């Protein structure tokens, strides 16, 4: 069944023609790479131009505006992360690009973070943003690019919740020369939930094993 039922369209010449075109447009749209891909044919464009003289206010409010809201809603649904793997790929690319907003886009507003650097925890996206801004600014000042690699990845998910654990390696390269400077591997656990059709991180926990003798983190086990 398509998005719009054609049998209930106005039986009123031009208005019926416009609605049938709208029905065809939505029913033949598709999702490609997270966006709505559609083709609005020349005939529809010409019909809409001609219709500026014919469409009455009641018709616009009862048909055209709901149609546009539906399209906007479909677009909003497809902007997010449809798969858990999409979140991990965004994590990887946002860090490499040092893009704060892109990085934060995969976190829930009330996210709870246990990070193994600095603060004991971060509660909420504003608190987490402060850490991320400091992190990315530091990388930029030092001229460093970080390559992120996920290993030993395990994903368990149902329709609305997902659990991920893995080893994440951060390899630092000099931006100008491409020289590899260092790398560390942390243990990560992510708890994700689906919000409006998009996966977001609700909880994140990173850790390192601690040396009993020194009380310091052990960086070279992996």
Residue 165 has a pLDDT of: 96
Residue 155: CB partners within 8 Å, gap ≥ 6? Answer: 84, 85, 162, 163, 164
Domains and CATH numbers, the chain: 6-78 (no CATH), 84-207 (3.10.450.50)
pLDDT reading at 2 higher than 60: no
Would you say 52 and 169 are in contact if contact means Cβ atoms under 8 Å apart?
no
Tens-place pLDDT, residues 51-79 = 544 445 555 556 555 655 554 444 444 46
Mean pLDDT calculated for residue range 151-175: 95
176-212 tens-digit pLDDT:
999 999 999 999 999 999 999 999 999 999 988 888 8
The band of 222, judged by pLDDT with boundaries at 50, 70 and 90, is low
């Amino acid at each position: 069944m398509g998005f719009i039922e054609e049998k209930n369209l106005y039986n009123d010449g031009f208005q019926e023609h416009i609605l049938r075109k709208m029905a065809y447009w939505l029913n033949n749209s598709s999702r490609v790479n997270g966006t709505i891909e559609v083709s609005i044919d020349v005939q529809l464009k010409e019909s809409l131009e001609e219709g500026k003289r014919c469409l009455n206010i009641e018709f616009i409010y009862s048909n055209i505006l709901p149609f546009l809201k539906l399209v906007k809603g479909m677009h909003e649904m497809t902007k997010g992360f449809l798969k858990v793997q999409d979140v991990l790929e965004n994590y990887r690319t946002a860090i490499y690009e040092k893009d704060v907003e892109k990085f934060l886009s995969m976190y829930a507003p009330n996210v709870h973070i246990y990070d193994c650097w600095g603060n004991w925890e971060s509660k909420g996206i504003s608190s987490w943003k402060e850490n991320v801004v400091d992190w990315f600014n530091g990388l930029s000042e030092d001229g460093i690019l970080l390559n992120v690699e996920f290993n030993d990845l395990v994903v368990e998910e149902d329709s609305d919740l997902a659990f991920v654990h893995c080893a994440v390696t951060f390899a630092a390269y000099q931006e100008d020369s491409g020289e590899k400077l260092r790398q560390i591997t942390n243990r990560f656990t992510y708890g994700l939930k689906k919000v409006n059709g998009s996966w977001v991180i609700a909880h994140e926990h990173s850790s390192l094993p601690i040396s009993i003798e020194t009380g310091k983190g052990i960086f070279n086990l992996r």
